[in-house]
A and B are shown apart, each in its own frame.
Chain A
Amino acid sequence: MLQYIVRRLLLTIPTIFAISLVVFLMLHAVPGDPAIIFAGDKNVTPEQLAFVRRDMGLDRPIAVQYLDYVTRIFRWNLGRSLYSRIPVTMEIGNRISSSAELAAAAFALAVTLGIVLGVISALWRSTWIDVAAMSFAITGVSMPIFWLAQMLIFVFAIHLGWFPVTGDGGLSRLFLPALALGLISSATLARLVRSSVLEVLALPYVTTARSKGLAEMKILARHVMKNAFIPIITVMGLQFGTLLSGAVITETVFARPGMGKLLIDAILIKDFPVIQAVVLFVSLIYVLVNLLVDISYGLLDPRIRFD
């Protein structure tokens, strides 16, 4: 088992380097002179431009710049925001808790609701429960998250006044954004859980177990769930990715000062150090999540360990 984990861990290293390369190249792929972009909002003279170029090391060969970039990352120096001149690590640090609590709450909601809906519609297949749940699911999957978020604000915050409109801090401000973010994920999850559970329920050994007379619940717990869980976990991992990207929009609509909003604002003003750092950070988290998914695969299905 340990060998499997170590092997998987080692495989992520080239991935991380590849991500850092893509992120680094981003700035140089932009049409236009990066020095002008770094000089930012001021009236720039040619001398100032030359100074900026030397200061940012843009006059050195690209390979050297990349190495420098990577070493800086290891030293935890992600540069400064072009706009606010604040170190990017500080900007990210300020925003992490807001994004983390939103992601966690939404994920919990999505997983709970998704699995429950998926399982009950599989168990009570073709009844009104199934139809209702799946109608909800397909509607949810079709809903744009930025619209759902605003509708929730409109109904529950503006009209009913049950929740504060926007901002962050406190449970009452977390509920609507987590709901918006989690609902759509739960819809996707519900559909997939349903088909996965149905697939396992149709397998021969399950019907055999039933005929042997074991209590229904025991069958469910031991055989069905364990096997259904493999694709479910995959999807949960993928959904985490959707959640991360959905968070970008949710934070913007709910005006929560999280990393998603930081990214969007940075893209709008072309604040590249911030864009690079956030993309790197989020991708690393996603790689980590995928790693966890892979590891739990190994735990659930011994066959995969000897891949």
Chain B
Amino acid sequence: MGRGMTRRKFLKTAGAAGIGAAALTPLLQAVSREVALAQTGGTLIYGMASPPDTLDVTTTTSSYVGRVALHVVDPLVWSVKAGEYAPGLATSWTVSPDATAYTFNLRDDVKFHDGSPLTAEAVKVTFDRIVDPATKAQTAFSFIGPYDRSEVLGPLQVRVRFKRPYAAFLNAASTPYLGIISPTALRRYGADFGPVVFVSTGPFSIQSYQSGVEINLVRNINYNWASRVQKHNGPPHLQALKFRIITEPSTRLATLETNETHFIEDVPPTDVARLKSNPRFNVLEIPQAGSGWSVMFNQQRPPTNELAVRRAFQLTVDKEALTRSVWSGVHKPACSPLTPNLFGFDPETCKKYPRNVDQARRVLEEAGWQMGPDGIRVKGGQRLQVDYYFRTENPKLREMTAFIQAAMRPVGVEVQLHGLAGPAYFQAVRTGLHHVQYWWDTGTDPGQMLRILFHSSNAGGGSNRNNYRNAEMDTLIDQIGAEGNPAKRRELLSKAQNKVLDEQVMLFLTDPPSLFAHQRTVSDIWVDWGGLYPYFYDTRIAR
């Protein structure tokens, strides 16, 4: 051994150092990533308002499950605002002119939670599963519309075909209900996929679920395919998400105030003002996209089959007073079957048939309803009595019903209340026992909203509890569903809304906002433009 370095020795040492460095680099990268992750982290505790029926987003009927699911799956596209979409799992897409075929090009760097790569095959498997009767898909099934089949054109290219023109498909594909699942996992777990295990590509994966108590999601460290709608890429900052099921609204609110939860949904309207004035909290008040709170009239049963009777409701009920009392002024009075933030909402509908109680009386008189001795109108020996069905689970429905009942009595209409819970309620309204019942729906596609409410195919036990069957309306709705040209579509939507009001098919009460509240230490929460999905991918919790 000489004192100095021989060249060989130097090269050897350098080589060793180089190899060492090369070997160390990924290790160092992993360590620095872990260090970076450790600096973020934390668990966000979310106060959930409703217990899930299942965690399988394909078969669920609950919009609350959708909120959880958006963190576990990735949609093909993200909805930026009404009619505008950003890439999600799909980098680009084309739509055939007749809107019966959608071709998607997928990202090449996406992996499922089980490590298998995202392929076009996965899209086909996901969509075929949704329409398979054995799956018993609910919300997902209604979102996938007139799905026919998917064609795998290449490893990362898939064409989705529909039996009829379906203009609303991109909107549907942006919901968590059409999130893409892992075919490998599906093959592996079979019937257990869904009820027991659920594997997708999202920034979080399901760690555990204690029925009726809480859902635990843990971050996906390998996540690296965020859409440009989000602020960063890579794994989420949060280490975990815990959805605690707290159905009682005052309890849920209390957990926020005692710092047991970071974020709650469905804040009671009576507490909104108080929370807003508290510097510790931030209230998110986002107008919901959809149909708002409304009343359906059964067009098949007298007396609500008469236009005069339905019109009397419109002319009598003071929507502004209803919003101020029952909803503490947090809602806005509604005019149309669509909420104002939906594409194609016609503001002219707000000017139609304004409140006029005297006119209501006149309308009824002219229709032959004469005032009886006890203050209730009579025609041909029949009293003007209306069976009002509502669900008892929600105290707000009870309050709205009491309001409307009190409003209609001076005009000579007797409202008979029928409060029922759960299955008994559905049984009653599906068989059409009601004259009047409530509706509330959320959704981002206007054509879809109208179809649910007014298309004859949904009458007689389905969502169209108006039992409204009108050929002209059916045609309009079908046209709207097929029309790709925005200007033409807007025109058709306006026509439909005005027809609904002229025939007074329903009474539109309020347009609600989604009400969330969170600690101010929680930042960077994303909510979709429809106010339906709070998303915590970018979220950080300050210490």
A interface, CB within 8 angstroms of B: 36-37, 40-41, 43, 82-86, 90-91, 94, 164-167, 255, 257, 268-270
User: What is the minimal beta-carbon distance from A81 to any residue of chain B, in angstroms?
Assistant: 10
Tell whether, in the assembled complex, residue A43 and residue B462 are in contact, meaning their CB atoms are under 8 Å apart.
yes
Q: A166-B250, A255-B251, A270-B422 are in contact. Are A86 and B211 (CB under 8 A)?
A: yes
- Tally chain B residues at the interface, Cβ within 8 Å: 26
B interface, CB within 8 angstroms of A: 51, 53-54, 210-213, 246-248, 250-251, 254-255, 258, 392-393, 421-424, 426-427, 430, 461-462
Tell whether, in the assembled complex, residue A164 and residue B254 are in contact, meaning their CB atoms are under 8 Å apart.
yes
Q: A84-B51, A167-B246, A255-B251 are in contact. Are A41 and B426 (CB under 8 A)?
A: yes
Tell whether, in the assembled complex, residue B251 and residue A84 are in contact, meaning their CB atoms are under 8 Å apart.
no
CA distance A121 to B255 in the complex (A): 43
Please classify the interface of chain A as helix (H, G, I), strand (E, B), loop, or mixed, using the class held by over half of its residues: loop
Tell whether, in the assembled complex, residue A43 and residue B430 are in contact, meaning their CB atoms are under 8 Å apart.
yes
Tell whether, in the assembled complex, residue A94 and residue B213 are in contact, meaning their CB atoms are under 8 Å apart.
yes
A residues near B254, Cβ cutoff 8 Å: 164-167
User: What is the minimal beta-carbon distance from B3 to any residue of chain A, in angstroms?
Assistant: 72
Chain B's closest residue to A38 (CB) is B423
B residues near A94, Cβ cutoff 8 Å: 210-213
Q: A36-B427, A43-B461, A164-B254 are in contact. Are A269 and B213 (CB under 8 A)?
A: no
Tell whether, in the assembled complex, residue B461 and residue A257 are in contact, meaning their CB atoms are under 8 Å apart.
no
CA distance A83 to B421 in the complex (A): 12
Tell whether, in the assembled complex, residue A270 and residue B51 are in contact, meaning their CB atoms are under 8 Å apart.
no
Q: A43-B461, A270-B422 are in contact. Are A90 and B251 (CB under 8 A)?
A: no
Tell whether, in the assembled complex, residue B251 and residue A165 are in contact, meaning their CB atoms are under 8 Å apart.
yes
User: What is the minimal beta-carbon distance from B257 to any residue of chain A, in angstroms?
Assistant: 9
Tell whether, in the assembled complex, residue B430 and residue A270 are in contact, meaning their CB atoms are under 8 Å apart.
no
* Apart from the given pairs A255-B251, A257-B213, A269-B421, 14 other A-B contacts in the complex at a CB distance below 8 Å: A36-B427, A40-B423, A41-B423, A41-B426, A43-B461, A86-B211, A91-B212, A94-B212, A94-B213, A164-B254, A165-B251, A167-B254, A269-B423, A270-B421
A residues near B51, Cβ cutoff 8 Å: 84
B residues near A85, Cβ cutoff 8 Å: 53-54
Tell whether, in the assembled complex, residue B421 and residue A84 are in contact, meaning their CB atoms are under 8 Å apart.
no
A residues near B251, Cβ cutoff 8 Å: 165-167, 255
CA distance A36 to B426 in the complex (A): 11
Among B255, B258, B427, B430, chain A packs the most CB atoms within 10 A around the CB of B427
Chain A's closest residue to B51 (CB) is A84
CA distance A36 to B51 in the complex (A): 23
B residues near A83, Cβ cutoff 8 Å: 53, 422
Contact of A84 among B53, B258, B392, B462 (CB under 8 A): B53
CA distance A165 to B51 in the complex (A): 21
User: What is the minimal beta-carbon distance from A293 to any residue of chain B, in angstroms?
Assistant: 34
A residues near B426, Cβ cutoff 8 Å: 41
